[in-house]
A = this chain, B = another copy of it.
Amino acid sequence: MVSTTMADVPVPHGRNFLMVPGPTNVPQRVQNAMHRNSEDHRSLDFPKLGKTALEEMKRVFMCTRGHAFIFPGTGTLGWEAALSNTLSPGDRVVTVRFGQFSHLWADMMQRLGLDVIALDVEWGEGPQRDIIERLIREDTGHRIQALCVVHNETTTGVTSDIPGLRAILDRYRHPALYMVDGVSSIGAMPFKFDEWRVDLAITGSQKALMLPAGLGLVCASPKALEHSKRAKLPRVYMSFDDHLKSNADGFFPYTPSIPLLYGLLEAVKMLEEEGMENVWARHFKLAEGVRRAVAAWNLKLCCRDRARLSDTVTTVMLPPGVDGVEVVKVAYQKYNLSLGAGLMSLRGKAFRISSLGDLNELTILGALAGVEMTLRDCGYRGFQLGAGVAAAADYYQAHAVQTRGFSNAVAKI
């Protein structure tokens, strides 16, 4: 007989509302594309897969020259691959710290033995152009080998002005490599490798590409590839050179994750079916709904400059007395809602809502309702229940477009 007594531990039902900025929801199409038996990565048919994947990656970066590398690994590996393939021990690099991820990347630079000038910016702000400009202007001897910037700080929901910083290098004809971490932006927000003349861009599979973690993706300009010939930092697994040799024939220097390659093709196909500008517009719309809700809750965004708002993650500041650690915990335990926690100095003071990847308006609205219940559970009373949802719904309704049911068929029921 089916038990009719109360179970000791209630079980979750339905689907977890996954609102962290990666790993993001994997669409069924992508899951199915990955669901296949192994195949010989040295077969006569493999290069078709390999070459297509490599070419599609370049399209995602909006790169027509240079090369996109696909490493079994993560975005962290991408960071290291970009640095170690193009720099030598002691090389001077300039970077900006304005959140946990830019901190971690700067930390990596130091651990690799580079001479790091790390500009600290108050969290909530983005890279300050004037300081960077001064550094570049004064570096007439061209000691600075690279300018390294995080495009979208996942900690604070603040973006950098990537073309604007490029313009500084141009103004002073500075030859430094321009490295950009686009882990939580590329594929979701405008990113134009060629047009912005980025030299090294990095992303991972588990963000806008809607795959599981497992691919560290690095796009390198011809100039970066040129640097890789004389860079002295040791690297073998991450070696551009080894990949270039194998990639030329559509192979990889060691066993690639074949399911992820198939998943990558399907994910890029989805993005292309929608059109990248539509994808960017969709992320803007979803994030804007979140921001309207935050305003209706009478809470503040971490990002202080509207021009620098992230469309993939919104960092929400909590008032004194409301514990952000508790918010994340309660949301998960009681509402099956996964929010991003406040990181490092924002620990306990903020939480994050992602609008990245395979989500839609109703997913966001359900999540916002979950946040509202959670905020009340955690003692915040500065809003009326439903206010955030209503503000977002009002915006979404005004900007809704038809996406399904274009046929005229009507079920006679």
Binding site for B on A (CB under 8 A): 1-7, 9-18, 20, 22-26, 28, 31-48, 59-60, 62, 64, 71-77, 79-80, 84, 108, 111-113, 204, 206, 212-214, 216, 233-234, 236-238, 246, 249-251, 253-260, 268, 270-278, 282, 325, 329, 332-338, 341, 343, 347, 358-367, 369-370, 372-373, 376-377, 384-387, 389-391, 393-394, 396-397, 400-407, 409-413
Contact = CB atoms under 8 A, between A and B. Distances in A.
Given A14-B363, A16-B40, 10 more contacts: A5-B277, A11-B403, A12-B360, A13-B282, A34-B34, A111-B236, A112-B234, A249-B412, A332-B405, A377-B400
A77 B72 CA distance: 9
Most buried by B among A64, A73, A75, A250: A73
B251 A76 contact: no
A40 B329 CA distance: 12
A365 B386 CA distance: 10
A353 B160 CA distance: 44
A257 B335 contact: no
Contacts of A38: 18, 23-26, 206, 212
Given A9-B406, A213-B255, A404-B12, A39 B276 contact: no
Contacts of A325: 410
Contact of A409 (B10, B24, B31, B44): B44
A69 B292 CA distance: 44
A61 B263 CA distance: 31
13 contacts: A4-B275, A6-B277, A12-B403, A12-B404, A14-B363, A23-B38, A23-B41, A28-B37, A249-B410, A333-B403, A335-B360, A337-B362, A365-B370
